Amino acid sequence: MSEEVLQQATPGLIPGSGTARAAKPTRLSPSFISWLQAGPMMLVFLAFFLIPLVFVVIVSFWDYNEYQLLPAFSGRGYTDTFEGCLAQLPDLCTIGKTYLKTLKLCFMVWAITLFIGFWVAYFLAFHVKSKTWQMGLSLLCTIPFWTSNVIRMIAWIPLLGRNGLVNSGLMKTGLINHPVEWLLFSEFSVVLALVHLFTFFMVVPIFNSMVRIDKSLIEAAYDAGATGFQTLVNVIIPLAKPGIVIGSIFVITIVMGDFITIGVMGGQQIAAAGKIIETRVNALQFPAAAANAVILLAITFLIITMMSRIVDIKKEL
């Protein structure tokens, strides 16, 4: 019955495919088939990523006034962005300071998420023996993702505030006399929130690489007399490298473009590359915003290129 319904729904297809079936193997080359397989994703990429990106680059070279884009070639978006960079030397200009700050935050978050992520993945891959437990525990890691990013971030505020849980706890135990101010609206709170939000993006790819390491390699290292540390450095880390690099790319690209977490946890007082773009967009200065987006993209791309120099992901996968 259900078969009949199906055929009713696609009446034209069946006879048509019957005639094509014989000719197919000769007509389609293997490369064409792989293009066909990659095609849908490629089209999605083209429509929702590459074409918009081309527009962003084009708009970044337009001029603008208070209320509209002027489609005439102009480098104003860029020159305004780097305003005063030469005059202020050796001091850094706004864009220089902003990127330095963003890179600093990015590096701290990357280092901490890598450290935590690596050991969580290590534990899951090598210390948890049963597959069921491995699955169960890694699913457990995803539970925080059931609530929104923003909520998980904002939840820190009542904890870290001047009269927050941490401060009042420390005051009661007599460890401090005055509330600690740097807990909230500081680089500390920004890094804390970002680490909390994004460590999982490190765990998953590293774990994925680690479980694929052939256990006999580790046994061989052990048999050859390697210490635990030597095995880690010479066997596990090199083999987990693709996971480390992929996780790092996730974390770095997210943190480089972030402005919401940095804004909320930094009390809007900490500059970020994404924040500049937001302010420009809000002031309806789209070409300037686009120019900043292109600069951010270029810098992020540079970092990723350097990382893929260290590990050839294509080969490793």
Partner 1 sequence: MTETTRTKGVSRRTLLKGTAGLAGLAAGSGAITGFPYVKSADAKVLRYLGTAVNEGDDIAKQCLKDTGIKIEYITATTDDVTKRVMTQPNSFDVLDTEYFSLKKLVPSGNILALDAKKIKQFDNITPVFTKGETPGGKKIGGQGTAPWKVLYLEGKDSKKFATSPTEFVTLIPTVYNADTLGIRPDLIKRPISTWAELLNPEFKGKASILNIPSIGIMDAAMVVEASGKYKYADKGNMTKEEIDLTMKVMTEAKKAGQFRAFWKDFNESVNLMASGETVIQSMWSPAVTKVRSMGIACTFQPLKEGYRSWASGFCVSKGVSGAKLEWAYEFVNWFLSGYAGAYLNRQGYYSAVLSTAKAHMEPYEWAYWMEGKPAEKDIKAPDGSLLEKAGAVRDGGSYEDRMGAVACWNAVMDENDYMVRKWNEFIAA
90 counts as binding partner 1 under rule CB under 8 A: no
Compute CA distances 195 → 2, 202, 243, 288, whole Å: 51, 10, 18, 31
Q: Of 31-39, 103-111, 121-129, 156-164, which part binds partner 1 (CB under 8 A)?
A: 156-164
Q: Return the residue of 56, 74, 94, 159 that touches partner 1, per CB under 8 A.
A: 94
| E strand spans, the chain | 62-64, 69-73
Give the nearer residue to partner 1 in terms of CB position, either 184 or 206.
Answer: 184
Q: Which stretch binds partner 1 (CB under 8 A): 38-46, 121-129, 178-186, 203-211?
A: 178-186
Q: Among 74, 208, 253, 279, which residue sits at the site for partner 1 (rule: CB under 8 A)?
A: 279
What tokens does 304 get? 């990723």
Distance CA(122)–CA(245), nearest Å, equals 16
Residue found by looking up tokens 């880690």 in the block: 232
Measured from the Cβ of residue 61, the count of other Cβ atoms closer than 10 Å reads 18
What is the separation, in whole angstroms, between the first and last Cα of the chain?
45
Cβ proximity to partner 1, 26 vs 269, nearer residue: 269
Q: State the minimum distance, in angstroms, from the CB of residue 285 to partner 1.
A: 6
Least Å from the CB of residue 101 to partner 1: 7
Question: According to the binding rule CB under 8 A, does residue 8 interact with partner 1?
Answer: yes
CB of 215 to partner 1, least distance (A): 51
CA distance 43 to 87: 46
Q: How far apart are CA 114 and CA 117, in angstroms?
A: 5
Amino acid at 244: I
Of 247-276, binders to partner 1 (CB under 8 A) are 263, 267-271, 275-276
Query: Taking CB under 8 A as the rule, does residue 37 contact partner 1?
Result: no
To 5 degrees, how large is the angle CA 165–CA 171–CA 175?
A: 120
CB of 170 to partner 1, least distance (A): 16
Among 79, 91, 181, 238, binds partner 1 (CB under 8 A): 181
As measured in angstroms, the least distance from the Cβ of 31 to partner 1 is 34
Report CA-CA distances (Å) from 197 to 87, 186, 201.
Answer: 39, 17, 9
Non-local CB neighbours of 97 within 8 Å, separated by 6+ positions: 271
Instruction: Report the interface residues with partner 1, using CB under 8 A.
Output: 7-8, 11-12, 14-15, 18, 66-68, 80, 83, 94, 97-98, 101, 157-158, 161-164, 181, 184-185, 263, 267-271, 275-276, 279-285
